[in-house]
Structure 1
Amino acid sequence: MELIGGLGAGIVGYVVPFLFVLTIIVFFHELGHFLVARWCGVKVDAFSIGFGKELIGRTDSKGTRWKLSAIPLGGYVKFAGDENAASVPDRAAIEAMSDEERRTSFAAKPVWQRAAVVAAGPIANFLLAIVIFAVLLSVYGRPVTEARVDGLEPGGAAQTAGFEIGDVIVAIDGQPIDSFGGVQRIVSTSAGETLAVMVERGGEKVMLSVVPRATEMTDRFGNVQRIGVLGIRRDVSAGGITTQTYSVPEAVVEGVRETWFVVDRTVDYIAKVVTGREKADQLGGTIRMAEVSGQVAREGMVALLNLAAVFSVSIGLLNLLPVPMLDGGHLAYYAIEAVRRRPLSAKAQDVGFRIGLALVLLLMVFATWNDIVHLTMRQAGAS
């Protein structure tokens, strides 16, 4: 009975928060596609949260089937003239359509409209993140601690670079710093990179050059992460923590900045993986998302919504990769069509979609392998 109870608690603790986060992200992604498609006069056959067998659904007055499907790991919008959920054209079905039906098919629309419909999904993900960040900041504010150096690790990167106790960090690489958390966010993702840090020392501005050292850290959930550290310490009891409040317009601006920060750091990490300057073991898949969702859910709804915003940005970026089967692959096809003034041949597109499917499956397998290795190492460390 104890084993069954533990299993049930695991499902509630991990799967439910994960599905909550994923459903929000998928719904708004597909809603972006749907709204722009309707605006462009495209008939939408289906709007599904999940894949596979339909569990519940209803058909609206314009013929769109809204449904919840059995496999809740994504979703799709299927347009008139599509062969499948990936918007691969069904050329036989399009040929069999009447002229009126063909005019409302996705494939018959001008290339700029098709591009707008496809781009709307990732854009909706970015907008969702901005809204979540803005709402949380306007309602709860942000806890901040002055970016003052209260301690130095002997022989650490900061001491070697000339930092002194009492220094207040005011900018990193020209970016203003208003809290110790701001320092941590930049430094943690900059291992091995040279940072230009401006500090205030005795009423004067001093410029220092420092290279954060890559260090493996274990967070409060037991996850091992490789991050950059300077070797400085902030004594919270010395200055306390204050809450920075924001008006709605200020919160929106901060929401944009938060979203851009996630975009910038994610793209930077991917670029480092591609160029061999960073390991790809930090790439996670569905298992890692579920694990992190469950862990963060213990911190409360605010933390879980913040995580949803971060995941929303990540999924938006993933979909913009120029890989056929993903939104970015469709956009690449449309860019080629716009330049050539005609689409690629059906054969070329089909080959591209097959290659894209293979790449997506390989990425999923690789991410799942990373997840399994991550879980195995955690279990080994806990035993």
Structure 2
Amino acid sequence: MKIMTTLIAFVVVLGFLVFVHEFGHFLIAKWVGVKVYVFSIGFGSRLFGFKRGDTDYRVSAIPLGGYVKMAGENPTEPLKGSPDEFASRSIKERLAIIVAGPFMNLIWAVLFIIMVFYFGIEQPTFLKQQARIGWIQPNSIAEQAGLQAGDIIVSLGQQTITRWEQALKFIDTTSVKDLTITVRRQDREIQVQLKLDKKKLSQDGGTLGFFPPLPPVVGELRKGWPAEKAGIQPGDKIIALNGETIHDWYELTHVIHNSPGVPVELQVERKGEKLSFTLTPRKDEADGKGYIGMLPFQQTEKVKYGLGESVKQSLVFNWRMTRLTLGYLWKVITGQQSGKSIGGPIAIAQFAGQAARTGLTELIRLMGFLSLQLGLLNLLPIPVLDGGNVLLLAIEGVSGRPISLKKREIIQMIGLAILLAIMAYAIFNDISRFFSP
């Protein structure tokens, strides 16, 4: 049953995202007068479909993408010079056809997340609570500025803060280099100055180094990971790590992250009984940190937003995800970060299955996230991707003439090789994670 749910969710999620992407190309092609021969969900042999007008609408055998075949699109085929051929249209019209696919994915990313906020999203209850700092990361910007656990955030810059939701939103959207924070410590207010150095922020994982209170209580365990294998159970309260008292979940994870491959001893409290477990954090090849497969228990509440606020929240969410995605890709390209966390179809299937079992809202949220990724990645300037075709059009626009067939074929072959290498790497990562101990 679990496998069937995963397969169905994978086909539905990927199929819909491919459909809206290809429909974008198709819609603009028809709008500007380009003849479309094939609209296909999937690659390879035709499974079923129907023909209407000049277009064969089909579902094909390999469900890992799709395509729209237009008249005059393939430079190796003879052109008639007909106005309904892709090559006969102006650069602006061809550009519109190319970018329409990823643009549709970006639109649906926003629409999906609007649905999530409008129908209700589970949010931690601490977001509505007073912004009391629960833990300060050692050697972070916050610690260097003098902030302490227990401080209550009164204001960030010129904005008054009454709850964590406001504080986190401000931090996520601010672009200032120096930030003045006013906190209440015991019975007096103190101002501290935070220097938002980009290099230091990157070293600290993009955080300022202060976190809301999060009790060290186990919520979920990943099957087959060190914590589950050692015998830790949901509901266990972590009271000590290597003999040192633990007060907060973030304090626990900080030590675990810095102990990859090093045995640690956890002391927990379970129904009034104290138990000890020895386990070794698994090193993640992507970031080099240690993980034991535990998630914290958090009290949540379902929060529904009005339509206007849902739109606003969706735009903020997608902008944040865009920054994170592009930032990660840049770090991978420049060698600042490993690409081990890049996932392929197996990872998508696993996430889709898990989301489907969790509920419709979680599945819609995943579809929004993946739609954004598909839109952004297709805009990368890699030949055979939409972004690569945009680059070729830009060269044509600057030079005043199309790139020669021979050069175009070489460029396309290079692009295809790059794309296949990326896909092979992603699938290798999927398989490695699947069979990892």
Q: Which of the five TM-score ranges fits, normalised by the shorter chain?
A: 0.7 to 0.9
Query: Structure 1 residue 148 and structure 2 residue 131: aligned?
Result: yes
| Structure 1 segment 328-347 matched on structure 2, within 5 A | 328-347=387-406
Checking the alignment, whether the CA contact within 8 Å between 1:214 and 1:226 is kept in structure 2 is no
Checking the alignment, whether the CA contact within 8 Å between 1:221 and 1:295 is kept in structure 2 is no
Corresponding letter in the other structure for 2:146:
G
Q: SS in structure 2 opposite 1:15?
A: helix
Match of 2:426 in 1: 367
Deviation at 1:150, TM superposition (A): 4.9
Count how many residue pairs are aligned between Structure 1 and Structure 2.
341
Candidates 194, 204, 213, aligned match of 1:208: 194
Query: Structure 1 residue 354 and structure 2 residue 413: aligned?
Result: yes
d(CA) in 2 for partners of 1:254, 1:124 = 19
Deviation at 1:206, TM superposition (A): 3.9
Checking the alignment, whether the CA contact within 8 Å between 2:75 and 2:405 is kept in structure 1 is no
**1:155–1:333 CA distance, 2 compared to 1 (3 A):** closer
d(CA) in 2 for partners of 1:307, 1:198 = 36
Query: Structure 1 residue 68 and structure 2 residue 59: aligned?
Result: yes
**1:307–1:197 CA distance, 2 compared to 1 (3 A):** farther
**1:204–1:63 CA distance, 2 compared to 1 (3 A):** farther
Corresponding letter in the other structure for 1:208:
L
Query: Structure 1 residue 39 and structure 2 residue 31: aligned?
Result: yes
Identity %: 32
Match of 1:231 in 2: none
Match of 2:12 in 1: 20
Query: Structure 1 residue 78 and structure 2 residue 78: aligned?
Result: no
d(CA) in 2 for partners of 1:219, 1:227 = 22
1:230-287, Cα deviation, whole Å (9 max, x unpaired): xxxxx999xx756554322332222222211111110001111122221111111111
Checking the alignment, whether the CA contact within 8 Å between 1:128 and 1:312 is kept in structure 2 is yes
Deviation at 1:334, TM superposition (A): 0.4
Match of 1:167 in 2: 152
d(CA) in 2 for partners of 1:373, 1:147 = 43
Checking the alignment, whether the CA contact within 8 Å between 1:283 and 1:370 is kept in structure 2 is yes
**1:51–1:371 CA distance, 2 compared to 1 (3 A):** same
Candidates 119, 123, 131, aligned match of 2:99: 119
Q: SS in structure 2 opposite 1:34?
A: helix
Q: SS in structure 1 opposite 2:102?
A: helix
d(CA) in 2 for partners of 1:294, 1:205 = 48
**1:51–1:236 CA distance, 2 compared to 1 (3 A):** closer
Normalised TM-score (structure 1): 0.78
**1:197–1:177 CA distance, 2 compared to 1 (3 A):** farther
d(CA) in 1 for partners of 2:288, 2:314 = 24
Corresponding letter in the other structure for 2:42:
G
Match of 2:317 in 1: 258
d(CA) in 2 for partners of 1:273, 1:343 = 33
d(CA) in 1 for partners of 2:108, 2:192 = 40
Query: Structure 1 residue 288 and structure 2 residue 347: aligned?
Result: yes
Candidates 305, 308, 333, aligned match of 2:367: 308
d(CA) in 2 for partners of 1:35, 1:125 = 14
Match of 2:267 in 1: none
Checking the alignment, whether the CA contact within 8 Å between 1:325 and 1:356 is kept in structure 2 is yes
Deviation at 1:178, TM superposition (A): 6.8
**1:207–1:111 CA distance, 2 compared to 1 (3 A):** same
Checking the alignment, whether the CA contact within 8 Å between 2:122 and 2:300 is kept in structure 1 is no
Match of 2:43 in 1: 51
Match of 1:4 in 2: none
1:170-214, Cα deviation, whole Å (9 max, x unpaired): 659x9x997469849989xxxxxx996664412666443575646
Match of 1:136 in 2: 116
Q: SS in structure 2 opposite 1:298?
A: helix
**1:115–1:207 CA distance, 2 compared to 1 (3 A):** same
d(CA) in 1 for partners of 2:377, 2:51 = 31
Checking the alignment, whether the CA contact within 8 Å between 2:38 and 2:69 is kept in structure 1 is yes
**1:341–1:376 CA distance, 2 compared to 1 (3 A):** same
Match of 1:91 in 2: 77
Question: Once structures 1 and 2 are overlaid, which stretch shifts more, 310-319 or 201-210?
Answer: 201-210
Segments of 4+ moved more than 6 angstroms: 184-187, 194-197
Q: SS in structure 2 opposite 1:104?
A: coil
Checking the alignment, whether the CA contact within 8 Å between 1:142 and 1:244 is kept in structure 2 is yes
Match of 1:232 in 2: none
Note the aligned Cα RMSD (angstroms): 3.6
Runs of at least 5 residues in structure 1 that lack an aligned partner in the other structure = 1-8, 83-87, 188-193, 229-234
| Structure 1 segment 197-276 matched on structure 2, within 5 A | 199-202=181-184, 206-209=192-195, 211=201, 213=204, 220-221=221-222, 226=287, 244-276=303-335
Match of 2:233 in 1: none
**1:226–1:18 CA distance, 2 compared to 1 (3 A):** farther
d(CA) in 2 for partners of 1:221, 1:196 = 40
Q: SS in structure 2 opposite 1:148?
A: coil
Match of 1:5 in 2: none
Deviation at 1:363, TM superposition (A): 0.6
Normalised TM-score (structure 2): 0.69
**1:273–1:331 CA distance, 2 compared to 1 (3 A):** same
1:27-66, Cα deviation, whole Å (9 max, x unpaired): 1101111111111101111111111111111112x32111
d(CA) in 1 for partners of 2:313, 2:31 = 30
Checking the alignment, whether the CA contact within 8 Å between 1:147 and 1:180 is kept in structure 2 is no
Deviation at 1:167, TM superposition (A): 2.7
Corresponding letter in the other structure for 1:64:
T
d(CA) in 2 for partners of 1:201, 1:48 = 58
Match of 1:85 in 2: none
Q: SS in structure 2 opposite 1:371?
A: helix
Deviation at 1:221, TM superposition (A): 4.2
Query: Structure 1 residue 104 and structure 2 residue 95: aligned?
Result: no
